[in-house]
Amino acid sequence: MLPQRVLPAEHSTGSVSVSANGLVMIRGAVKAVVRLKGEMMCLHFYGALMFATAWCCQLVVSNAQTRPNIVFIMADDLGWADVAFHGGNAPTPCLDRLAKEGLELTQHYVAPVCSPTRTGLLTGRCWSRFGVTTPTNELALPTGTVTLPGALQDRGYDTCLVGKWHLGSLPKWGPNHFGFDHSYGSLAGGISPWNHRYKKGEYSVTWHRNEELIEESGHVTDLLTDEAVKWIRMRDSLPFFLYVPYTAVHLPIKEPDKWIRRAPQTITGNVARQYAACIMHLDDAVGRIISALEHAGVRDNTLLVFTSDNGGSTAENNDLKYPDDNCPNGRLTANNLPLRGKKGDVYEGGTRVPTIVSWPARVKPGKVNNPVHVTDWMPTFCSLADFEPARDLKWDGVNLVPLLLHRVEMSKRPLYTAGPRWRASALRYGDWKLVVTGKDENRNVELFNIATDVNESKNLADTEAHRVDAMLTRLQEAARRDNDALAR
């Protein structure tokens, strides 16, 4: 059972601030006066005050309804060309329609691997500020960090995470400690699809509801979607934030037979067909969430984002670090073309991912080619929710509302990427991208013009020495604040 909604202590309406507990106390006090005095004047007073109370409550509801609901769906290890609208060989009709009717962000950047991207999304800051550059089972965020769900909670939002957390794999570090009213899924990282186990070791048992470890049967994609749909159906008039970080298409994969049978016959090989089935299953799950929003009558005023946490992987599917779930052997068949690289790389194939924004009431269909970043979503959503932080949260991201709603061109800005363990780093600035690998005498510097060389095949570092120097300076400046917010 999902927990019942608990009203936040206070809802701000802009010009009127109404305490939910205060309203209850006022009603009780006035009723007591009526009982004790029994005078007509007191009854008139009671009626007038209750009218004023109802008016204030109506203001709360009206104000809440003007803010959008927010649904953020994140695939796991989905490659650039794994989706049909980028030429993928697995049908993705739900995502294709979403891309056609919504706004595609054609240059949306994330981290090369999972936990860093999740850190950036939930804090508005580069993951390296928190010392997070690899998948982590340790506590990623300092206690007291102002997170995206926490900020939205402050503005009266219901908040829910259904899926993969991976920012601290013990219940005491779970999502309910960082702004989520309700949480369900994997506290750790990617899990086996049927036994719901993470890698062997102390974090292997990880399936939970509200940070209580549980055992359930069923395929992970179905269980997560069922939970998300149920949660949507239980919403009242308050706005909500639903974050759905799926484990698909992360290894190990093993799909239900009905999805394997639906994979195109042109796709051959066991793992290749499993991979296509996994993508199709994920696509259907997105469609189910959209249908739930429509049936709840909230689709028009719901801002939905679909993206991936990093580029696609070609690693061995049946990774022996996981408890055996009878998953097929063979390498995953992710497709990041025409982009260079894959998951774990700071090249485009590791960090540039399919991304769609859909808000039927406000966002017009089309494509935006401005480079944007996963850290932009917290400033954007906070702006839409009228959240103003009490202190400087040192956001690296920026507010995308002018771009999304009005197609206002964004100014050039540095987009910084710290790769796993800082073995590689990158900086995008305008059309240009700098990639640095190694250190000291082993350092290698590459410079690409992404506008003309999207697959990063022509290193222009030798012919653009002055530009390289300027970009290196920007990269060093961007990295200066790394490790300034470590969890202790």
Mean pLDDT, residues 16-20: 37
Residues 111 and 194 both lie in one domain: yes
Residue of higher predicted confidence among 92 and 52: 92
Residue of higher predicted confidence among 380 and 59: 380
First-to-final CA distance of the chain: 34
Domain-located, residue 484: no
| Confidence class for position 53, pLDDT limits 50, 70, 90 | very low
Instruction: For the beta carbon of residue 13, count every other beta carbon within 10 angstroms.
Output: 17
Residues 26 and 126 both lie in one domain: no
Domain-located, residue 5: no
Q: What is the pLDDT of residue 294?
A: 98
Instruction: For the beta carbon of residue 461, count every other beta carbon within 10 angstroms.
Output: 16
Domain-located, residue 397: yes
CATH number at residue 333: 3.40.720.10
Residues 344 and 444 both lie in one domain: no
What φ, ψ does residue 304 adopt, rounded to 5°? -115, 130
Q: What is the pLDDT of residue 443?
A: 95
CATH number at residue 436: 3.30.1120.10
Rg (CA), the chain: 24
Domain-located, residue 445: yes
Q: Is 261 helix (H, G, I), strand (E, B) or coil?
A: helix
Domain-located, residue 396: yes
Domain-located, residue 4: no
Domain-located, residue 487: no
Residues 35 and 93 both lie in one domain: no
The pLDDT tens digits of the residues spanning 328-370 come to 999 999 999 999 999 999 999 999 999 999 999 999 999 999 9
Q: What is the pLDDT of residue 59?
A: 42
Q: What is the pLDDT of residue 75?
A: 98
Residues 50 and 74 both lie in one domain: no
Q: What is the pLDDT of residue 432?
A: 98
Residues 106 and 46 both lie in one domain: no
Asked which of 374, 406, 438 is the last residue of a domain, the reply is: 406
Does residue 58 carry a pLDDT above 70?
no
Q: What is the pLDDT of residue 454?
A: 98
* Residue 322 per-residue DSSP state: S
Does residue 401 carry a pLDDT above 50?
yes
How many residues are given for the chain? 488
DSSP 207-226: EEETTEE----S-HHHHHHH
What CA–CA distance (Å, rounded) separates 157 from 224? 21
Contacts 24+ apart (CB under 8 A), 15-20: 16/56, 16/59, 18/56, 18/57, 18/59, 18/60
Asked which of 23, 47, 63 is the last residue of a domain, the reply is: 63
Mean pLDDT, residues 437-445: 93
Residues 301 and 370 both lie in one domain: yes
What φ, ψ does residue 272 adopt, rounded to 5°? -60, -40
What CA–CA distance (Å, rounded) separates 156 from 175? 18
Helix (H) or strand (E) holding 119: helix 114-123
What φ, ψ does residue 292 adopt, rounded to 5°? -65, -40
Q: What is the pLDDT of residue 161?
A: 99
Domain-located, residue 2: no
Q: Are strands 240-245 and 158-164 parallel, antiparallel or unpaired?
A: parallel
> Domain residues for 198?
68-406
Q: What is the pLDDT of residue 46?
A: 46
The pLDDT tens digits of the residues spanning 147-187 come to 999 999 999 999 999 999 999 999 999 999 999 999 999 99
Asked which of 377, 406, 435 is the last residue of a domain, the reply is: 406
Residues 396 and 469 both lie in one domain: no
Q: Is 420 helix (H, G, I), strand (E, B) or coil?
A: helix
| Confidence class for position 264, pLDDT limits 50, 70, 90 | very high
Residues 331 and 366 both lie in one domain: yes
Amino acid making up residue 466? H
Residues 265 and 332 both lie in one domain: yes
In terms of DSSP H, where are the helices of 14-113?
A: 20-37, 40-66, 93-101
Of 174, 184, 185, 164, whose CA–CA distance to 113 is shortest? 164
Residues 84 and 150 both lie in one domain: yes
Active site residues: 114, 166
Joined together, the tokens standing for residue 169 give: 């794999």
Residues 120 and 49 both lie in one domain: no
| Number of domains making up the chain | 3
Residue with tokens 């051959």: 268
Pair 136, 170: CB distance under 8 Å:
no
Residue with tokens 């980028």: 86
Q: What is the pLDDT of residue 66?
A: 80
Does residue 19 carry a pLDDT above 90?
no
Joined together, the tokens standing for residue 56 give: 């204030």
* Residue 73 per-residue DSSP state: E
